[in-house]
C-alpha cells in the first residue's frame, strides 16, 4: 500500500453485518478496493459477491490470504471464531478490523495481542459508537474538565430480540459460540461508549438471568459500577424489552449529557443541559457545531480507520484501547455468576472467567 493507492480490503464472513460493511466500503471508493471475500457457506458467499460486485470469492481464509495478500481484513464471522482468524490474517501481513465482540474471553484477547507482537500488525475492534462526531465532542468536553467531576451515570440497552433471533443463525444462544448474551452481544455498544467516556472503572456488582427465551445465555444483565473518579453508574441490558431504546445519561457537576436513540446516533440524538451557566451553555452549542455531523456508524469508523492507517496512528479501538471494556465484561459476568463484587484487572490467567465469560457456570432462570 502506498499513500495514494487504494487500500485493498478482504472480508472473512459474508453474512448479515457484512452487507452493511460492504455499503460503507463502497462509499469509500476509490480510497478502498474490496478485492475478495470468503465464507464457509458457499451459497452465502456466492450471493454476497454477486450482489456486492466483489471480484474474487475464496473457499477458505488461508487461500484468500495467501493469494490476495490484502492490506486490511474485515472479520465479520461469529464471535468464537474472531481471535483465531485475526491471528491468521495478521500472520499473513494484514491489519485487521474485527467485529464486536472482538473476543469471547480475556484469554483470546491476550492471544490476539501476542499475535500483534509477533507479526507487527494490528487488530482493531469495530465499536462504531465511539466514532460519531458527538461522542468525540463529548469526550473532549469531559477531558477538558469544564463539566466538572462526573457524579452519576445511566447506561441502558433495552432492546427486543424475538425467539427467531436466536435460531436464525447457528451460533447465537450458546456460551461456546456467541460467548455471552445481551451484555456481550448487544449492550457492549453502549457500555463500551460509557466506559470510554467516564475513564477507569474500579468495581462491578452485577446480576444476569435468562428471561423469556429458551437459550443458554443471559437475556437480561444489570450492573452497578464504580469509577476511579468517584462516579457511580447503573448499566441495564435487556433483549426482551418490547419498546426499544438505547439511552446514556452522564451527570457532571455543571451539566447533564444524554443520548437517546436505538442503533445509530446522530448529533440531534444528544442533549446538553446546563441549568446555571449560560457561558458554558453557549460554548457547548458552539463546539457541537464545530465538531461535524458524522453519525456513530460503520462508515464513520471505516473513514477514520483509513485516515489512521495512512497516518500510522493507533486507532481509537485498537486492542490495547478496548482491553478495559473486555476486562469489565469478564468481571461483570463473574460478578453475576458468583454474586460477588469484582474489581478491575482481577480476572487473570488461572481464573475460569479468564477462559470464558460464564466461567463454565450455569445461569439462573
Ligand X SMILES: NC(=O)c1ccc[n+]([C@@H]2O[C@H](COP(=O)([O-])OP(=O)(O)OC[C@H]3O[C@@H](n4cnc5c(N)ncnc54)[C@H](O)[C@@H]3O)[C@@H](O)[C@H]2O)c1
Check: CB of residue 337 under 8 Å from CB of residue 357.
Answer: no
Per CB under 6 A, the list member of 17, 232, 240, 280 interacting with ligand X is 17
- 78 lies in the binding site for ligand X (CB under 6 A): yes
Least separation in angstroms between residue 148's CB and ligand X is 33
Per CB under 6 A, the list member of 9, 11, 14, 269 interacting with ligand X is 14
Per CB under 6 A, the list member of 68, 71, 95, 99 interacting with ligand X is 99
Check: CB of residue 327 under 8 Å from CB of residue 203.
Answer: no
Stretch that binds ligand X, among 39-47, 138-146, 151-159, 351-359 (CB under 6 A): 39-47
Check: CB of residue 71 under 8 Å from CB of residue 7.
Answer: yes
Q: Whole-angstrom Cα distance, residue 31 to residue 94?
A: 17
Stretch that binds ligand X, among 13-21, 195-203, 305-313, 315-323 (CB under 6 A): 13-21
Q: Which is nearer to ligand X, 16 or 271 (CB)?
A: 16
Least separation in angstroms between residue 35's CB and ligand X is 16
Residues 6+ positions from 210 with CB-CB distance below 8 Å = 181, 216, 217, 218, 219, 220, 363, 364, 365
- Residue the block writes with cell 446480576: 207
- 343 lies in the binding site for ligand X (CB under 6 A): no
Per CB under 6 A, the list member of 32, 64, 79, 194 interacting with ligand X is 79
- 13 lies in the binding site for ligand X (CB under 6 A): yes
Least separation in angstroms between residue 169's CB and ligand X is 4
For residue 30, what are the CA distances in angstroms to 7, 9, 26, 53? 9, 12, 8, 15
Least separation in angstroms between residue 273's CB and ligand X is 28
- 284 lies in the binding site for ligand X (CB under 6 A): no
Per CB under 6 A, the list member of 7, 12, 25, 309 interacting with ligand X is 12
Q: Whole-angstrom Cα distance, residue 73 to residue 141?
A: 34
Per CB under 6 A, the list member of 67, 169, 262, 307 interacting with ligand X is 169
Strands of the 270-273 sheet, one edge to the other:
270-273, 256-261, 240-252, 150-160, 232-238, 220-227, 201-209, 342-343
Per CB under 6 A, the list member of 1, 5, 16, 47 interacting with ligand X is 16
Q: Whole-angstrom Cα distance, residue 147 to residue 138?
A: 10
Tell me whether strands 232-238 and 220-227 are parallel, antiparallel or unpaired. Answer: antiparallel
Stretch that binds ligand X, among 15-23, 214-222, 251-259, 305-313 (CB under 6 A): 15-23
Q: Which is nearer to ligand X, 41 or 167 (CB)?
A: 41
Applying CB under 6 A, the site for ligand X has a residue count of 24
Selection from 358, 345, 354 nearest residue 201 by Cα:
345
269 secondary structure, DSSP code: G
Q: Which residues bind ligand X (CB under 6 A)?
A: 12-18, 38-41, 44, 61, 76-79, 81, 99-100, 126, 128, 169, 185
Amino acid at each position: 500500500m502506498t499513500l495514494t493507492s487504494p487500500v485493498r480490503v478482504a472480508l472473512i464472513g459474508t453474512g448479515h453485518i457484512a452487507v452493511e460493511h460492504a455499503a460503507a466500503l463502497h462509499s469509500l471508493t476509490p480510497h478502498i478496493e474490496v478485492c475478495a471475500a470468503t465464507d464457509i457457506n458457499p451459497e452465502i458467499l456466492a450471493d454476497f459477491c454477486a450482489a456486492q460486485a466483489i471480484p474474487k470469492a475464496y473457499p477458505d481464509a488461508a487461500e484468500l490470504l495467501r493469494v490476495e495478500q490484502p492490506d486490511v481484513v474485515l472479520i465479520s464471522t461469529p464471535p468464537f471464531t474472531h481471535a483465531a482468524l485475526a491471528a491468521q490474517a495478521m500472520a499473513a501481513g494484514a491489519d485487521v478490523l474485527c467485529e464486536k465482540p472482538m473476543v469471547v474471553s480475556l484469554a483470546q484477547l491476550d492471544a490476539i495481542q501476542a499475535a500483534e507482537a509477533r507479526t507487527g500488525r494490528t487488530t482493531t475492534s469495530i465499536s462504531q459508537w465511539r466514532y460519531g462526531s458527538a461522542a468525540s465532542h463529548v469526550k473532549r468536553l469531559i477531558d477538558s474538565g469544564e463539566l466538572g467531576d462526573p457524579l452519576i451515570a445511566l447506561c441502558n440497552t433495552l432492546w427486543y430480540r424475538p425467539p427467531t433471533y436466536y435460531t436464525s443463525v447457528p451460533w447465537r444462544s450458546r456460551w461456546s459460540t456467541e460467548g455471552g448474551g445481551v451484555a456481550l452481544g448487544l449492550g457492549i455498544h453502549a457500555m463500551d461508549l460509557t466506559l470510554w467516556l467516564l475513564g477507569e472503572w474500579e468495581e462491578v456488582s452485577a446480576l444476569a438471568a435468562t428471561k423469556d427465551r429458551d437459550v443458554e445465555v443471559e437475556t437480561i444483565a444489570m450492573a452497578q459500577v464504580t469509577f476511579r473518579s468517584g462516579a457511580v453508574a447503573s448499566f441495564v441490558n435487556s433483549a426482551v424489552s418490547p419498546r426499544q431504546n438505547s439511552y446514556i445519561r452522564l451527570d457532571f457537576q455543571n451539566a447533564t449529557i444524554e443520548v437517546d436513540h436505538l442503533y445509530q446516533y446522530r448529533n440531534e440524538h444528544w442533549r446538553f443541559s446546563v441549568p446555571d451557566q449560560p457561558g458554558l451553555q453557549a460554548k457547548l452549542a458552539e463546539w457541537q457545531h464545530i465538531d461535524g455531523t458524522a453519525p456513530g456508524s460503520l462508515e464513520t469508523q471505516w473513514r477514520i480507520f483509513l485516515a489512521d492507517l495512512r497516518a500510522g496512528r493507533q486507532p481509537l479501538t485498537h486492542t490495547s484501547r478496548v482491553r478495559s471494556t473486555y476486562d469489565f465484561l469478564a468481571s461483570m459476568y463473574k460478578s453475576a455468576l458468583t454474586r460477588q463484587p469484582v474489581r478491575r484487572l482481577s480476572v487473570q490467567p488461572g481464573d475460569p472467567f479468564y477462559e470464558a465469560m460464564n466461567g463454565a457456570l450455569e445461569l439462573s432462570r
